[in-house]
Amino acid sequence: MTFDVIVIGGGITGLTTAFYLNLYGKKTLLLEASDRLGGNIKTLKKGSYLFEEGPQTILANNEAVWKLIEDLKVEVEKTSPSSEKRYIYKNGKLIPIPLKPWEFFRTPLIGLKSKLLLFKELFVKPPPKEDESVANFARRHFGEEFLRYFVQPFVSGIYAGDAERLSVRYAFPKLWEMEQRYGSLLKAFLKEKRVAPKGELISFKGGLSSLTEVLALKSSEKQLNCKVLSIERTQMGTYKVLSKCGSYETKNVVLTVPADQTAEILKKLFPPIEVLNEIIYPPLAVASLSFPKVGVDGFGFLVPKEEGLKILGAIFVSSLFPNRCPGEEDCFSVFLCGETQKDICNLSEDEILKTAVGELKKVFPKLGEPKFQRLRLWKRSIPQYTVGYGKIYQTLEEFKKRYPGVEIISNFVGGSSLAKCIEKGYQTAKKLVEKGN
């Protein structure tokens, strides 16, 4: 059977791509290796509880997200106003993250010497190498203490990663570009008024899975439990996709699966692609917990490594979305493991849950016994854009030149946030439609 496009992978990127290809009249087949669609988006619904066991929200910071929402007519649920309150755990206390310049100079998160380094940042020297770690980038601009109490916790929260290993150029391209343009990040802030990404934090009635469920219904032709084995190029210039549920011919292929699966599928077509196996996916555990109410308010908190807790941080679910938790309880999503504490994920699931409960009680000593607890263990979570990713980028660029009919838009390419995945799916579909074959 012949298709205009075959999309491999039924996560948010693949579903978005397939949806728009179908909408624009392309004969499209979606192939998914597992028995469900949605990828890492997984919403847990149990009685009065609603927890996200994968990504927690979408930072809607591009037009593609809002277009998809409009086209699907899904009901958006916005976070409560208190979501602007975010905390760092230090010396047994939750300290608000400063959001305004004068708050920064009053925060106890870092000392006076580190605060004064802010002025020195205006004259920071450029990096000696083209690619450097996020940690070295932070040290050059703001010093060691700023790295420990601001940057590394955020890296754990965004990537479940290690700032010493992540590449600033590929993990945080906006910051890298600003340094190239202005030299100083403070100069960039003064010019552009903002360094952090803009956008609105949203979810949907019924959780993030509501979005993928609607997308799944809109996918006209799809095959589950259909692992793709390889792709071959035919003499006619089309592609043959070989899978466990048959072989299919197509003019274009879109891959949205993880790095190791992409390498396995393409290695016969392009052997250098096996460099993708070097991409790291750290384990991550998400504990969904509820306790008798003690009164938490805000988005959540992050934990610097130096504070010694065995959790990366937590989100206050009952504060963000009050209707997702019984009124007399406080609900939390607690995150463990990641690249900096991955050994914790070698414990049994019961032990990981006990660790989550015990560490959360150190932050909130008045917490009683949990009324609800559930663990989701992701053995491979978020792809790491580590120092040296440039080699992978160059390989992908070479592949693109040699096989223009095969698009690789997985979350290890060009960003892993949900908003970025939706944008890549929409833009790829639009490109293939405009291509016209």
In total, the chain counts a number of residues equal to 437
What CATH number has the domain spanning 2-41+207-279+384-435? 3.50.50.60
Q: What is the second-level CATH architecture of the domain 110-198?
A: Orthogonal Bundle (1.10)
pLDDT value of position 123? 84
pLDDT value of position 201? 95
| pLDDT at 360 > cutoff 70 | yes
74's torsion region: left (phi>0), alpha (psi -120 to 50) or beta?
beta
| pLDDT at 332 > cutoff 80 | yes
How far apart are the C-alpha atoms of 212 and 245, rounded to whole Å?
Answer: 23
pLDDT value of position 152? 98
pLDDT value of position 197? 63
| pTM of the predicted structure, to 2 decimals | 0.95
In this structure, what token pair is assigned to residue 243? 């899978």
pLDDT value of position 194? 60
Provide the 8-state DSSP code for 26. -
Amino acid symbol at 77: E
pLDDT range class, residue 196, cuts 50, 70, 90: low
Q: Please report where in the chains the tokens 């504060």 appear, as a residue.
A: 319
Q: Where are the domains of the chain?
A: 2-41+207-279+384-435, 110-198, 282-378
pLDDT range class, residue 190, cuts 50, 70, 90: confident
DSSP string covering 89-157, please?
EETTEEEEPP-SHHHHHH-TTS-HHHHHHHHHGGGPPPPSSSS-BHHHHHHHHH-HHHIIIIIHHHHHH
| pLDDT at 128 > cutoff 80 | no
Longest C-alpha distance within the chain, in Å?
70
| pLDDT at 195 > cutoff 90 | no
Answer positive or negative: Cα dihedral of 410, 413, 419, 425. Answer: negative
The CATH fold assigned to 282-378 is: Polyamine Oxidase; Chain A, domain 2 (3.90.660)
Average pLDDT over residues 383-403: 97
Do domains 2-41+207-279+384-435 and 282-378 share one topology? The answer is no
pLDDT value of position 10? 97
Mean pLDDT, the chain, whole residue set: 95
